[in-house]
């Protein structure tokens, strides 16, 4: 099918991002949200939930490499990892690049997102059925409140803080993440735009500090399809600081690993090149 149509995401009350469509591949309604997969000229296939860009084939590597590798390499020997959200599978794919990882508990609220990603986004979802991945379809907020499992690294690969994801940005959730981490555990979460959501980033930092994390470091990058194009993650650690990582060890391990964005320079660079107003 060929047509001249555009998809527009209203990103804030006063800002939108439009992309020209090649095709509409999927539109469906799950128990939790509207799910769309569009094929676009500029970004390839795009996953949209509730009218919000989640991930695109073209720029997903920036997001998925930065949510996973800085935390996993800072830990040094991660064996057991929890991924909360991330139904497209991109984070699971990156975590599995670490040979030390023995098990990933992949806790996603919406099983339909996982099924749609498996069908329409194979480059992201390709490792979801790996034998090390234990997919659990449930609410991540409830999961961390109730589980007695302990993890080396937890990735919170969540959407914006609305609807069922709102509680993934609240104090109680961070206290439970702290409880679910081993003594040298590390968590990392996507924490929205440093330009548009500075207050939220500071609120999260406060919650992480109150939860007991000794090192809290924001990192920033550019993700063209997210509001403002300027994005942040926040890493919180009980013991290791990414700025003290042995970069030659990282360089060595990367010889057996394919990454497109992350390398030994990016490891410290993303934290060091974070704007002054966020570090302070």
- Tokens 């509730």 label which residue? 50
Q: Between residues 158 and 278, which has the closer beta carbon with respect to ligand SAM?
A: 158
Q: Between residues 63 and 271, which has the closer beta carbon with respect to ligand SAM?
A: 63
Active site residues: 157
157 labelled ligand-binding:
yes
160 labelled ligand-binding:
yes
Q: What is the DSSP letter of 92?
A: H
Is there a contact between 55 and 62 (Cβ–Cβ < 8 Å)?
Answer: no
Residue selected from 11, 55, 176, 232 as contacting ligand SAM according to rule CB under 6 A? 55
Q: How many residues bind ligand SAM (CB under 6 A)?
A: 25
Stretch that binds ligand SAM, among 38-46, 80-88, 96-104, 209-217 (CB under 6 A): 80-88
Residue selected from 95, 168, 186, 204 as contacting ligand SAM according to rule CB under 6 A? 168
Residue selected from 37, 141, 235, 270 as contacting ligand SAM according to rule CB under 6 A? 141
* Helix, coil or strand: residue 87: coil
Q: How many CA atoms lie within 13 A of 77 on its CB side?
A: 2
**DSSP assignments along 123-175, one per residue:** HHHTTTTSTTEEEEES-HHHHHHH----EEEEEEE---SSGGGGGGGSHHHHH
Position 158 contacts ligand SAM (CB under 6 A) = yes
Residue selected from 11, 68, 81, 90 as contacting ligand SAM according to rule CB under 6 A? 90
Question: What's the token pair of residue 44?
Answer: 């390839």
What are the CA-CA distances from residue 213 to residues 93, 128, 216, 242 (Å)?
27, 30, 7, 14
CA atoms of 109 and 107, how far apart (whole Å): 7
Position 35 contacts ligand SAM (CB under 6 A) = no
Stretch that binds ligand SAM, among 6-14, 106-114, 256-264, 270-278 (CB under 6 A): 106-114
158 labelled ligand-binding:
yes
Which spans of this chain sit near ligand SAM (rule: CB under 6 A)? 49, 54-55, 60, 63, 84-88, 90, 107-110, 113, 139-141, 157-159, 164-165, 168
């Amino acid at each position: 099918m060929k047509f001249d149509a555009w998809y527009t995401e209203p990103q804030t009350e006063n800002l939108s991002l439009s992309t020209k469509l090649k095709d509409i591949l999927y539109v469906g309604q799950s128990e939790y949200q509207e799910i769309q997969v569009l094929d676009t000229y500029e970004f390839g296939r795009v996953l949209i939930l509730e009218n919000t860009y989640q991930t695109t084939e073209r720029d997903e590597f920036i997001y998925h490499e930065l949510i996973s590798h800085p935390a996993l390499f800072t830990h040094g020997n991660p064996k057991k990892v929890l991924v909360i959200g991330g139904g497209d599978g991109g984070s699971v794919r990156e975590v599995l690049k670490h040979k030390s990882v023995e098990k990933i508990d992949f806790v996603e609220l919406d099983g339909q997102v996982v099924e749609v990603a498996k069908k329409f986004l194979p480059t992201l979802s390709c490792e979801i059925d790996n034998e090390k991945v234990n997919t659990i379809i449930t609410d991540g907020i409830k999961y961390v409140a109730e589980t007695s499992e302990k993890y080396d690294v937890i990735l919170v690969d969540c959407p914006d803080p609305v609807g069922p994801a709102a509680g993934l940005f609240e104090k109680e959730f961070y206290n439970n993440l702290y409880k679910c981490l081993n003594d040298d555990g590390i968590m990392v979460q996507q924490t929205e735009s440093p330009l548009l959501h500075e207050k939220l980033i500071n609120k999260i930092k406060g919650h992480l500090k109150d939860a007991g994390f000794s090192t809290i470091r924001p990192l920033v990058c550019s993700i063209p399809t997210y509001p403002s194009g300027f994005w942040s993650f926040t890493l919180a650690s009980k013991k290791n600081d990414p700025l003290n990582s042995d970069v030659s060890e990282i360089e060595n391990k990367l010889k057996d690993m394919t990454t497109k964005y992350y390398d030994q320079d990016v490891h410290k660079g993303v934290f060091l090149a974070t704007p002054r107003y966020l570090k302070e």
